[in-house]
Structure 1
Amino acid sequence: MKDFWSSHQWPAGERRAHWHLLFQGEADVHRFAHAHDDLLARYPELTRVPVEWLHTTLESIGPLTAEQSTAVGEAGRTALTGIQPFDIEIGPVHAIHNGVVVDLYPEENLSAVYWALRKATESVIGPDALPPAPDRFWPHLSLAYSNSQWNDDDLKRALAKEVRPARARMTVERIMLVDQQQDWRRLYSWTPITTIPLGPALPETTDPRGAS
C-alpha cells in the first residue's frame, strides 16, 4: 500500500471547498465503521478517520472567495431541486492502493447528484478550475488512510475473513458544501457553507401584507 499523505499535502493554512455527503447522526453507519476499529488499530501504518469526520467527497473544488462560495452553493441548490431523498447501503470494506474504503450502493442516484453538482460548480468557476472529471463516479467513504508504504496482504486477508458486519443503511436527505481544512497526516475537518435538503422545491409564498 502507498502513502496517501505523501501525494495529498496542501499548502499550509489553505482551505478548500468540497461537496460532501456527511454521516453525522447516522447510527447505523457509525455502527458499521466501529465494527472495524479493533482490526484497523492493529496497523500503525493506517491513519483512521474519526467517526465524526466520516464523509463521502462528491466533488473537490478548491479555494473559493466568499462570493464564489455563495454562488456555488446557490447553483448547487438549483441543480438538486426536485431530486428526492434516496436510500443507500454502506459496505463492504476493502483495502485499495492508499487506504481502507467502504463502497456505497447503488451508485446511480449518487452519480446523478455528483454530475449535477459538477455542472453547477463549473457554471460558476469554470471547468478548468476543477480536477478532471472521471469517466465514472465512484462513491465511497474512507475509514483509514495509509501513512507509509507497506505490505498490506495481512490486512486484506483480515478484512475479507475476520470482520464481516452487516451493511449499513441510510437515507440520503441532504448534501453539504463545506470549507475544508487538512491537518496533514492526521485528518480532514471542515465548517459548513451550505446545506441543501433533497426533495421538491418549496412553493413560492406571497407576503399577506402585500395583498389588496
Structure 2
Amino acid sequence: MADHWWWRPGWRPDRHYLTWYLVFHDQALTDYVAGFQRALADLEYLDPVPVDGLHTTVQGVAFADELPAETVAAIGKAADERCADIEPFTLTVGPIAAYTGGTFLRTAPWQPVADLRERLRAAIGDVLGPDAVPDEPARFKPHISVTYCNATPPANEVIHRLSELRQQPPISLPVTSVDLLELRRDGHAYQWDVRHHTNLTG
C-alpha cells in the first residue's frame, strides 16, 4: 500500500481541481462507513474520510485556474442537457476492501455510473472539445473510499483486519444527482465547493 496524499502532477496546496462527484448525504451510508472507521481507528496510518466527504469520483474536468467562470457554467448547462433523461438509480454498496491508497466500499452495478460518466464526458467535450476530456474511460472503477493511507503500511495487515469486516452485508444507496465541484486538499482530507448541481430526474 502507498501514501494517498502525495502531490500528483499539477497539484499544490493552493490549487483547486474541477471534478464531477456523486456526493452522498445518506444516513444509512454514514452509519455503515462509521462502523468500519471505528473498527480501524487504531491503525494510525489510515485517515478516515469525513462524513461530509463521502463520494464517488465520476469524472475530472480541469484545474480551476484553467477555466473562466462562464466556461464552468457552460459545462454545467451541457451536463443538464446531456443527463436530462437519466433516471435516479440504486447502488449496492459493500463489502469493504483494500486498494493501494486505502480502504473502500465496492459499488454495483457499475453500468449506471459508467453511463452517467459518459454523458458528463460528452458534456465536457461539448464545451472544451473532445480532445480536452481527461482520463481514460476503461480505467474507471466506481467506489466509495472509507479511509486513505497516510503512510506505506503492510498490505497484509490491512487485508487481515478487513477479513472480519467483510462479513457486514451490503446496503442500498440511492443516487439522485451529480455535482460539479471545485476540489481542494485541506490536510489529510478533501474539501469542496459546489459549482453546479445536476438532478437526475429522467
Q: Residue in 2 aligned with 1:157?
A: 160
Q: What secondary structure, in the 3-state scheme, does the structure 1 residue paired with 2:196 have?
A: strand
Are the structure 2 counterparts of residues 162 and 196 from structure 1 closer, same or farther at C-alpha, using a change threshold of 3 Å?
closer
What per-residue deviation string (whole Å, max 9, x for no partner) do you get for residues 53-107 of structure 1? 1111101212232111101101111110111111111111111111111111111
- 2:186 corresponds to which of 159, 180, 183: 183
The TM-score with structure 1 as length reference comes to 0.87
What per-residue deviation string (whole Å, max 9, x for no partner) do you get for residues 87-134 of structure 1? 111111111111111111111111100111011112212344343323
- 1:78 corresponds to which of 78, 81, 85: 81
1:72 counterpart letter in structure 2: I
Which blocks of at least 5 consecutive residues in structure 1 are unaligned? 201-212
CA deviation after TM superposition for structure 1 residue 7, in Å: 4.5
Q: Residue in 2 aligned with 1:204?
A: none
1:167 counterpart letter in structure 2: P
- Match status 1:92 vs 2:95: yes
Give yes or no for contact 2:96–2:166 (8 Å, CA) kept in 1: no
Give yes or no for contact 1:85–1:171 (8 Å, CA) kept in 2: yes
| Partners of 2:54 and 2:61 in 1: CA distance | 18
| Partners of 2:78 and 2:71 in 1: CA distance | 10
1:89-168 maps to which residues of 2 (within 5 A)? Answer: 89-162=92-165, 164-168=167-171
What per-residue deviation string (whole Å, max 9, x for no partner) do you get for residues 154-191 of structure 1? 2211212245322121221111111111114x111111
The TM-score with structure 2 as length reference comes to 0.91
Q: Which has the larger radius of gyration?
A: 1
Q: Residue in 2 aligned with 1:209?
A: none
Give yes or no for contact 2:113–2:142 (8 Å, CA) kept in 1: yes
Matched pairs, number:
198
1:146 counterpart letter in structure 2: C
What percent of counterpart residues are identical?
28
